[in-house]
């Protein structure tokens, strides 16, 4: 069976500090990978997606970036955090088949102070 | 631009009641629609996936229907239980897109 991991689970960072959130998927190969942000009172917002190693597409221009150094690893980064970066960050994956059912990780709660 | 709306935003029902959650979308050119459940502070759990060519899907006490032409989907929960209390999210994938567009969810409370 497939499992998706995210860490850390919770993070409190000061404004201007760097960020690195990691997501890994087990039990599958060549998945599509996604980063979403869920802010209080708002819906889920797609930030980045990747269909292969080194292939990153950005949906929302901002001070965040994503990388996919390995097939099942997806990293979300920032050089300098803003207060508005606070939120719940979710990683998701789906198989590259005809159904594209998406599965989500447990999330990382980021608070920028 | 696709927009997904879920009504009501919150719903409270007594245990044992059957209930319906609604989802509407503005662009009917969808590839599929997915219903999720989210518990407080947790990730999303996939409940049901309906392909655009399908009319409904069932899993246990859950039944989801899709009327693509009218831009509507419903999630029917039979014999509700306190453990069903959570936020339910609807999301659609456009044809030719990797992106899921989410509604803001319906927060369900099942009272014992």
pLDDT by residue (tens digit) across B40-75? Answer: 999 999 999 999 999 999 999 999 999 999 999 999
The pLDDT-based confidence of A61 (bands split at 50, 70, 90) is: low
Q: How far apart are CA A73 and CA A82, in angstroms?
A: 25
Tens of pLDDT, residues A33-52: 999 999 887 789 999 999 99
Mean pLDDT, range A65-82, rounded to an integer: 96
A67 and B CB contact within 8 Å: no
CA separation, residue B1 to residues A26, A53, B27, B92, B93 (Å): 34, 29, 8, 12, 12
Q: Is the pLDDT of residue A97 over 80?
A: no
The mean pLDDT of A98-107, rounded to a whole number, is 87
Q: Classify residue B69 by its DSSP letter.
A: T
Confidence label for B99 from pLDDT (cuts 50, 70 and 90): confident
Answer whether A99 sits within 8 Å of B51, measured CB to CB: yes
Would you place residue A2 in the very low, low, confident or very high pLDDT band (cuts 50, 70, 90)? confident
Distance CA B61, CA B79 (A): 7
Q: Does residue A98 register a pLDDT over 70? A: no
Inter-chain residue contact B46 with A103, CB threshold 8 Å: yes
Residues 6+ apart with CB under 8 A from B20: B74, B75, B76, B77
SS3 at position B74: strand
What are the residues of chain B with a beta carbon less than 8 Å away from any beta carbon of chain A? 4, 31-32, 34, 36, 41-46, 49, 51, 89, 91, 93, 98-100, 102-105
Answer whether B21's CB lies under 8 Å from B108's CB: yes
On the question of pLDDT at B82 being above 80, the answer is yes
The mean pLDDT of chain A is 92
């Amino acid at each position: 069976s497939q499992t998706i991991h995210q860490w850390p689970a919770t993070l409190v960072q000061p404004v201007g500090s760097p960020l690195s959130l990691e997501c890994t998927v087990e039990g599958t190969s060549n998945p599509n990978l996604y980063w979403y942000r869920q802010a209080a009172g708002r819906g889920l917002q797609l930030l980045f997606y990747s269909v292969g190693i080194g292939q990153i597409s950005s949906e929302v221009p901002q001070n965040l970036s994503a990388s996919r150094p390995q097939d099942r690893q997806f990293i979300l980064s920032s050089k300098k955090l803003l207060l508005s970066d606070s939120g719940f960050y979710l990683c998701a994956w789906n198989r590259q088949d005809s159904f594209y059912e998406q599965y989500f990780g447990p999330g990382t709660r980021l608070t920028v102070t | 631009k696709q927009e997904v709306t879920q009504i009501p935003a919150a719903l409270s029902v007594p245990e044992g009641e059957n209930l319906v959650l609604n989802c509407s979308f503005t662009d009917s050119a969808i590839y599929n629609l997915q219903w999720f459940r989210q518990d407080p502070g947790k990730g999303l759990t996939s409940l049901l996936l309906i392909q655009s060519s399908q009319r409904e899907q069932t899993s246990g006490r859950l039944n989801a229907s899709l009327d693509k032409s009218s831009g509507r989907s419903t999630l029917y929960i039979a014999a509700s239980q306190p453990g069903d209390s959570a936020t339910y999210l609807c999301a659609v994938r456009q044809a030719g897109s990797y992106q899921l567009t989410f509604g803001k969810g319906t927060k369900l409370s099942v009272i014992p």
